[in-house]
Amino acid sequence: MEQNSMGRVKSLPRYDINLAAQRYPRVLLLGNGILRLRGGVSWEALLDRIAVNDEIPDDVLRDIPLAMRVEALCGVDVEGARLRAAAEFELMEACVTDTLKRLLALPWDCVLTTNYTYEVEGVMLGRDRFGKEDRRRTLACMDGSVYRKDNLHFCYIMPRKSQPPLPVWHIHGDLGRPDSMILSYYSYAKAISRLQKYNRQLKNAFQDAVNARRLVTPRSWTDWFILGDVYTVGFGYDFSEFDLWWAAERKARENARVGRLIAYQDRQAKSDPVCALLKSIGGEVNRVYDYADYTEYYRIVIDDIETRLKQQAYEMEYED
């Protein structure tokens, strides 16, 4: 992959999807849950570390939606909260386990992650850290434009030996670009605004491509989400995740026939309303009840995904 003078990928890889043939890309949506197998920090623990206001009692704080707790604990200084969060993540070790490696070894066409950290990239490169130079070499804007703070079109292109390069999208931003990090209600609202603007530009492009029997080239993380068979692992779909709920409903409303949304959820009672809402908007929910611990839970989940992907084996069209 060539790079331009600013270090970003110059010659963008091209991924083409044949919707007319119902060949949907295999997309992994990875949350923070699987990182918790090796000390990954919870959202609540992160907020404790970056908080500047400790006057709100815990029982009151618990009733504030997760996406608004940043404002509750940090005020309206979203920029300062981002910088403090990025600094905290820089001090942490990568939360890589054999479970994560096995999951990423499956034949994905794309990875979407809500994590700010670089465990996915580290596994793909076989390194403990995904440093500044690595980020500089692999950052790509898939609509061909210049650097922007939002995450809609930006991804890291990970080389693979026997498969096309893997686009990894940090849909909530990443610590190397603190101004891209979605932490607060304010930044979630800005992200939704960008999604809606892009959606208006998209119009009925996917159904038009099917009618004309044209290939579709995804340019954003939402394109991959809408078009693909999306396997959700380690992501709880908290109701504060406004952008992902918007994307899930947008996927269900798509006129063209597209891939499925397949969500894996644990047995905890708090998952019940999430599962009900996912089903109501067309998602396929797979609950796992019989497991001794979360290592076994993720083994069961990965076993199921591996079986499904083998049944769906094909190669997506790709040009370097």
Relative to beta strand 284-287, strand 139-141 is unpaired
pTM (two decimals): 0.92
Question: Would you state the pLDDT for residue 91?
Answer: 77
| Nearest Cα to Cα of residue 247 among 158, 151, 181 | 151
Q: What is the mean pLDDT of each run of 10 residues along the chain (320 residues)?
A: 50 87 94 84 84 91 89 90 87 83 96 95 90 92 74 93 92 91 90 95 96 95 98 94 96 97 92 95 96 95 96 65
Question: Would you state the pLDDT for residue 283?
Answer: 97
Question: Would you state the pLDDT for residue 320?
Answer: 60
Dmax (CA) for the chain in angstroms is 60
Question: Would you state the pLDDT for residue 162?
Answer: 82
Q: Where are the beta strands (DSSP E) in the chain?
A: 14-16, 26-30, 110-113, 139-141, 154-158, 166-170, 229-233, 261-265, 284-287, 317-319
Question: Would you state the pLDDT for residue 247?
Answer: 97
Question: Would you state the pLDDT for residue 9?
Answer: 59
Q: What are the two backbone dihedrals, phi and then psi, of residue 249, each rounded to the nearest 5 degrees?
A: -70, -35
Question: Would you state the pLDDT for residue 5?
Answer: 41
Q: Which two tokens stand for residue 126?
A: 């076989």
Cα distance between residue 87 and residue 262, in whole Å: 34
Question: Would you state the pLDDT for residue 284?
Answer: 97
